[in-house]
Amino acid sequence: MLSQIEKQILKSWIQYAVEPRIAKVTGRKIRTTGPRIAVMGNCQAFGLAYAMKVMDPSATVHHYSAIGHSRFADLDLLAKTLDTYDYIFSHEFPAGHLRGDGDSSALREKLPRVTRTPPIVFAAFHPDLIYVSDQKGGFIFGPLGPYHSALGLFGWRAGLSLDETRALFNENVFSTVGYLDMWDEAARRFLATAQDECGIDFSTDLMKWARKGAFMYSVVHPTSYVLFDVAKRMWEKVGLKPPATDYSYYYIHDLARSEIFPIYPAVAKIFGVQGGYLFKIQNHHLANDVGDFLTLPQYLEACFRSYEKAGADNVVNSRVEAWIADENTKTLLIGLARENLRKGMTPTV
């Protein structure tokens, strides 16, 4: 079975080399008379590509996913294919997605005109979201795929019951572990990464997104209007002029099909948005099914099952390990959990 990159490479060569010849013979007019644009990268790349297509419907815009593994395509074939485009935008990606060796740095060596695109990573709305790995460095998947709760994992590691763990999800605990004071650091990291990797100052854009409310579905999944603004900035960087477009009329919230981590009420209160404990399970087939959600008790119960299945020695996260290793922190969190439980402070949704 072909990977997404391999399917896109095949499609690209058909559109680039075959269809114009057929059109010349048949007299058919080709609508995509504008520039050829390739967008390669992580889960955010599709939204960027879609935004660029909206900005110039005459353009040929192709999305290349740096997620998953290619069976046949190597770096040379990818570079040769991308070289047929007028503009190439790419996130950073590690080796392993292509056959043989080859990461984003190697791609830029072969194609220096590749424009680096900043990843949108912003943790202030979801400070409890973590990734959990096994001893080999692979991801441990739970009910929300790779998205885990640090407090949930701590509760399991510390031997708390499900009810005691649920009692950790209160403002006094969030304040203790620093969850209510994350904005400045999240903003600093995002702006610094964009400046260092791409030479772009997104401070004005960040203020605009903040005025609209919660602009992230998770730490790494922004809303579509964020990706539209990033697409405009990338066009400006390469000398393209973004037209005035009411992008909101053409929104596709692609990343909303994936897992959505809730914004906890005490965190939401800081930003003036609606909070809760409703966890959305990924569903990329909305045409067939509306999908499903988990309450906080359901989510924690499913997480505990996944940790039990993996085994204590195979569930690793540096933040939780630090909490467990610090006896004062561990004792304080356990005490707060039990005190909150006695007071009936066990949220659900």
Domain boundaries along the sequence of the chain: 4-116, 118-221+258-349
Task: Please say whether the beta carbons of 37 and 239 come within 8 A.
Answer: no
| Global pTM value | 0.92
Alpha helices in the chain (DSSP H): 4-13, 19-26, 45-55, 75-82, 104-110, 150-157, 162-166, 171-176, 183-198, 203-212, 224-237, 265-271, 296-310, 318-325, 327-342
Q: For 22-31, 222-231, 234-243, which range has the lowest pLDDT when averaged over its residues?
A: 22-31
| Mean pLDDT in residue range 186-214 | 95
Instruction: Give pLDDT, residue 289.
Output: 83
Q: Quote the percentage of the chain above a pLDDT of 70.
A: 99
**Cα–Cα nearest to 267, from 63, 122, 60, 153:** 122
Could you give the 3-state DSSP secondary structure of residue 61?
strand
Q: How many helices, marked H, and strands, marked E, lie in the chain?
A: 15, 8
Instruction: Give pLDDT, residue 249.
Output: 93
| Mean pLDDT in residue range 207-234 | 96
pLDDT digits (tens, 9 = 90+) for 314-327: 899 999 999 999 99
Instruction: Output 64 or 27, whichever has higher pLDDT.
Output: 64
Task: Fill in the DSSP letter of residue 281.
Answer: P
Instruction: Give pLDDT, residue 102.
Output: 86
| Mean pLDDT in residue range 31-56 | 93
pLDDT band at 187 (very low <50, low <70, confident <90, very high): very high
pLDDT band at 2 (very low <50, low <70, confident <90, very high): confident
